[in-house]
Structure 1
Amino acid sequence: MADATEIADRSAVPAGGSYRFTAEDAFGNETEVILVLCEESPGVRAWVNNCTHEDQRFDAGRGAAIRDGEIICPRHGSMFDACSGECDNGEASGTALPGVDIEIEDDTVLLTDDRYDYLHDGGVNDGDDGPGSTSHLSF
């Protein structure tokens, strides 16, 4: 598959958690995406790493909280089905997570969504040490 980008081995996606990576859209906007296990084929789903109710990340670096096949928003407790992305409770009820297209080939998760280009593992600001000296004051 020429247009697919390797993200991770399926075994890197933890049960009860998530695998986070950063992708870029056509406008240069960086987006965090999480991979979560799902009981439906192909066994892994990819979702934009934000609750639909507020700009709250599910995985801020320690993995998303997942219980009984549902991704839990850490802010208000809304629960999203890990397979469908749909929410039927809490503040986000009636919404669904934006999905990101992936495929599994030989136990490797591949990014196949033509809206995104893979940038790196981890979050948007991971490894960002920030600016160098920002002080221009003299005493």
Structure 2
Amino acid sequence: MSERRRLTTLETVHENRSWLFTIRDQYGEPDEAILVPCGDGVEAWINRCTHEAQRFDTGRGAAMRDGQIICPKHGSMFDSCSGYCDNGEAADTTLPAVDVSVDDGVVYLTDDTVTFAHEGGIDEGDDGDDDDGPASTSHIGF
């Protein structure tokens, strides 16, 4: 098992309803994951609906209701503890899990198949580019 990586606190996840972070797979490709409350603990899932790869959390927190993560596009609801969806366009699918553990109120990434890149979404990386738009030499902004 690889070394665990501190992510955040259990309290933060429960207060904010979700916590977005970026991971890298074995090939170095980035992906997003979210921590969500599950009973008194937390679970981590890849940050996209199984139906159309719609992001649950775009940087403002995932929509949640009654222990379920809600897809903002079609309304499919995924159980925050099992990742399973029994309704809507994503029915009978399960979110890909990311292994985490909790020790003394601190959440750690323990998944051997990914590495932690940074807190926040892929676009919030520390690549040195603070501009939110595409690179361009044009003086016109949108």
The TM-score normalised by the length of structure 1 is 0.89
Residue 73 (structure 2) aligns with: 75
Name whichever structure is richer in strand by fraction: 2
Alignment-derived partner of residue 85 in structure 2: 87
Of residues 124, 134, 137 in structure 1, which corresponds to 2:136?
A: 134
Unaligned stretches of 5+ residues in structure 1: none
Check if 1:59 corresponds to 2:61: no
How far apart, CA to CA, are the structure 2 residues paired with 1:133 and 1:90? 38
Deviation at 1:108, TM superposition (A): 0.6
Matched residues, number: 135
- Equivalent residue number for residue 34 of structure 1: 34
CA contact (8 A) 2:63 2:69 kept: yes
Q: Which amino acid aligns with 1:117?
A: T
Write the mapping of 1:8-27 to structure 2, written as runs, cut at 5 A: 8-15=8-15, 17-27=17-27
**Aligned partners of 1:49 and 1:73: how far apart in 2?**
10
Taking a change above 3 Å as real, the CA distance of residues 80 and 123 of structure 1, as seen in their structure-2 partners, is same
Normalising by structure 2, we get a TM-score of: 0.87
Across the aligned residues of Structure 1 and Structure 2, the Cα RMSD in angstroms comes to 2.2
1:11 is paired with a residue of what secondary structure?
A: helix
CA distance in 2, matches of 1:120, 1:96: 25
- CA change 1:10–1:93 in 2 (3 A) is same
Could you tell me which runs of 5 or more consecutive residues in structure 2 were left unpaired when the two chains were aligned. none
State the 1:76 CA deviation. Answer: 0.1
1:78-131 Cα shifts (integer Å, max 9, x gaps):
000000000000000000000000000111100000011001100000155348
8 Å CA contact 2:2–2:112 kept in 1: the answer is no
2: CA distance, partners of 1:6 / 1:16: 18
Closer/same/farther in 2, CA of residues 62 and 15 from structure 1, 3 Å limit: same
Identical aligned pairs, as a percentage? 51
Paired with 1:75 and 1:20, the residues of 2 have a C-alpha distance of 18
- After superposition, the Cα gap between the structure-2 partners of 1:16 and 1:2, relative to the gap in structure 1 and judged at 3 Å, is closer
Q: Secondary structure at the match of 1:64?
A: coil
Of 110, 116, 120, 1:112 maps to 110
